[in-house]
Structure 1
Amino acid sequence: MVRIGYTMMTEQAGPRELVEHVVKAERAGFDFSVISDHSFPWLEAQGHAPYAWSVLGAAAQATTRIPLMTYVTCPTFRYHPAVVAQKAATMQLLSRGRFRLGLGSGERLNEHIIGTGWPAAHVRLDMLEEAVGIIRTLFAGGYVSHHGHHFDVENARLWDLPDDPPPIGIAVSGDRSCEIAGRYGDLLIATEPKKELLTAFRAHGGSGRPLLGQLPVSYDPDRDAAVARAHDQFRWALGGWEVNAELPGPAGFAQATQHTRPEDVARAIPCGNDVAAFADAVRPYTDAGFTEIALIQIGGDQQEAFLDWSATKLLPALSEL
């Protein structure tokens, strides 16, 4: 049976609200939760970007059951991989073993803030591979020194290390990222229900590991309001990650999506309160072979209503998939 997760979307709510939402998601019966790790929202209408790791620490103390995960952290620009390893190990201890570390090659939107430029995709993937290797070595314990092509580590050690390090998920979008995920990842992360990604992941050693996808939805009893909100805050998602990873800020996303119509968004994102339509949107992921799907409810002020509806209507229906 597919596991259904809840997304703490840092772009659309403040830190206290995000913790309140995940507490309610746990009570509603979601199987796991994930959190975005950004320094900017995609569009100014979203209006938020709190520090995800502080939110995670608070969420670990406010919840008791629901697993937590970054979706995803870039360990190559804003954060040095040795720092990411320390953060993840601490989260695994705080959550009593409920944390998974999701990693990816990043987006210019978030990583540009340190002013080091934005290299080509193949360079970013090489950096990701080296970073994951450093993190895994630190998770193994002891002192670590590393002098690689992209990163240096000098006599580092994780002094507070859990008995079971957090599993590492790696975001994929093509064959090279699938190769890295198959070699280094404990699970695959994707944002589109492309079966070929899962096939490539398995071909590179990922057989039998969890496969996690993500799906935006816009719940509202008023479907027109749901469509308008999805268009206002989430039309950027129709651009695809090849484009989205390169755009520099909210103004760029606004310009790139200026001709995207509400009806375009409504075709891509389930809107309203028709449980069957939401299940139909999930089904391509289950048909492709995904074992876990994290839902994003669009709109920070709509989380409470969505979670109440999910507990009574949506999750029971999705359990039948």
Structure 2
Amino acid sequence: MTEYGYFLSTEEFTPRELVEQARMAEQAGFRALWISDHYHPWNGAQGSSPFVWSVIGALSEAVSLPVQTAVTCPTVRIHPAVVAQAAATSAVMTNGRFRLGVGTGEALNEHVLGNPWPPTHVRLEMLEEAVQVIRRLLTGEEVNHRGPHYTVENARLYTVPDEPVPIDVSGFGPKATAVASRIGDGYITMAPDEAMVTRYRKGGGGSKPVSGGLKVCYGPDRDEAVRRVHELWYSEQLPGEMGQVLPSPRHFEQLHELVTEDRVRENVVCGDDVEAHVSALSAYADAGFDRVYVGQIGPDQRDFFDFYRTKVLPQLP
């Protein structure tokens, strides 16, 4: 049976706001939390970018829900040995309720140290090696590793959870999905695409969990909700590989005019039509997803949680 979680956006909200949203999500009946891992927001209007690992520490004290990063890039900005330590500590703090979601990342966040931004096939190689390093370190053993992309010398994590941290791999195309099938404990993808879920399961993923997420904008005035999405999250409607290769929020801002309000209206659930919200989440369940995370765009968080608690979640299986 599909479970429904809440998607915390570090690009749009401050650390304290994220913790309060997590509390409201638990009270509303959501069963898990996703949290994004960004160095920059997608644009200046979003205006936030807290360090995700500090926020996870606060979440571990504020709520009892499972938490997963969606997703961390463990390859360029942060060395996989450091990601392993962060994941291990998060798992200990949450009493084993932490999953590490990983992916190949975006230049927006990962180029900030001046390192080159590799092409997709190289980033997938780096991701596979990084996951190997992380898994070894999470055992608590001393690790020495010298690979094509990473070197680790005499590294040992002394604070590790009793059980290994599950590592789910994000994939939006056939190549990344194949890697997720091979090395992941689960699969993360955003669109309710049954074909990709089938590809993952047949490629080696089997019955491992598949998770997806979407953003909505609840509000009594649909037109106002559309305008809010168009202001804050137009980047999700940009075509092609722009989201992976553009290096700065200002570059995304320069492309704002490429996304119309009509495009937002067609592709994002906006307003207070219960059936529209139920249908959007049900599409993931129908496509074979095990867990679906939904995030509210904009400041009307309490009204959103009341709406989902009383009208949306009760209609979902």
Query: Which segment is superposed worse, 199-208 or 48-57?
Result: 199-208
Cα deviations by residue, 1:108-153 (Å, 9 ceiling, x for unpaired): 0101111102111111111000000111111223111000000000
Moved over 4 A (4+): none
2:21 matched to which residue of 1?
Answer: 21
**Partner secondary structure for residue 82 of structure 1:** helix
- TM-score between the two structures when normalised by the length of structure 2: 0.97
CA distance in 1: counterparts of 2:61 and 2:226, whole angstroms: 35
Query: Which segment is superposed worse, 84-93 or 241-250?
Result: 241-250
Cα deviations by residue, 1:33-88 (Å, 9 ceiling, x for unpaired): 01000011111111111111100000001112x11110000000111101111111
2:49 matched to which residue of 1?
Answer: 49
Cα deviations by residue, 1:230-272 (Å, 9 ceiling, x for unpaired): 1111111012563211111111112223131111101100100
1:88 matched to which residue of 2?
Answer: 87
CA distance in 1: counterparts of 2:266 and 2:282, whole angstroms: 15
Query: Which segment is superposed worse, 27-36 or 238-247?
Result: 238-247
CA distance in 2: counterparts of 1:284 and 1:237, whole angstroms: 19
- TM-score between the two structures when normalised by the length of structure 1: 0.96
Query: Which segment is superposed worse, 257-266 or 122-131?
Result: 257-266
Asked whether the 8 Å contact 1:81–1:135 carries over to 2, the reply is yes
CA distance in 2: counterparts of 1:241 and 1:191, whole angstroms: 15
CA distance in 1: counterparts of 2:238 and 2:221, whole angstroms: 26
Matched, 1:67 2:66: yes
CA distance in 2: counterparts of 1:287 and 1:25, whole angstroms: 23
One-letter amino acid of the structure 1 residue matched with residue 125 of structure 2: D
1:131 matched to which residue of 2?
Answer: 130
Asked whether the 8 Å contact 1:5–1:32 carries over to 2, the reply is yes
One-letter amino acid of the structure 1 residue matched with residue 89 of structure 2: T
Choose the corresponding residue for 1:304, options 282, 302, 305: 302
Matched, 1:286 2:309: no
Q: How many residues align?
A: 317
**Partner secondary structure for residue 219 of structure 1:** coil
One-letter amino acid of the structure 2 residue matched with residue 313 of structure 1: K
One-letter amino acid of the structure 2 residue matched with residue 3 of structure 1: E
CA distance in 2: counterparts of 1:267 and 1:283, whole angstroms: 17
**Partner secondary structure for residue 5 of structure 1:** strand
Asked whether the 8 Å contact 2:99–2:166 carries over to 1, the reply is yes
One-letter amino acid of the structure 2 residue matched with residue 312 of structure 1: T
1:265 matched to which residue of 2?
Answer: 264
CA distance in 1: counterparts of 2:198 and 2:239, whole angstroms: 20
CA distance in 1: counterparts of 2:110 and 2:144, whole angstroms: 25
Where do 5+ consecutive residues of structure 1 fail to align?
A: none
One-letter amino acid of the structure 2 residue matched with residue 17 of structure 1: E
CA distance in 2: counterparts of 1:251 and 1:72, whole angstroms: 22
Instruction: Report the aligned-residue RMSD.
Output: 1.2
CA distance in 1: counterparts of 2:26 and 2:164, whole angstroms: 23
Asked whether the 8 Å contact 1:172–1:197 carries over to 2, the reply is no
**Partner secondary structure for residue 293 of structure 1:** strand
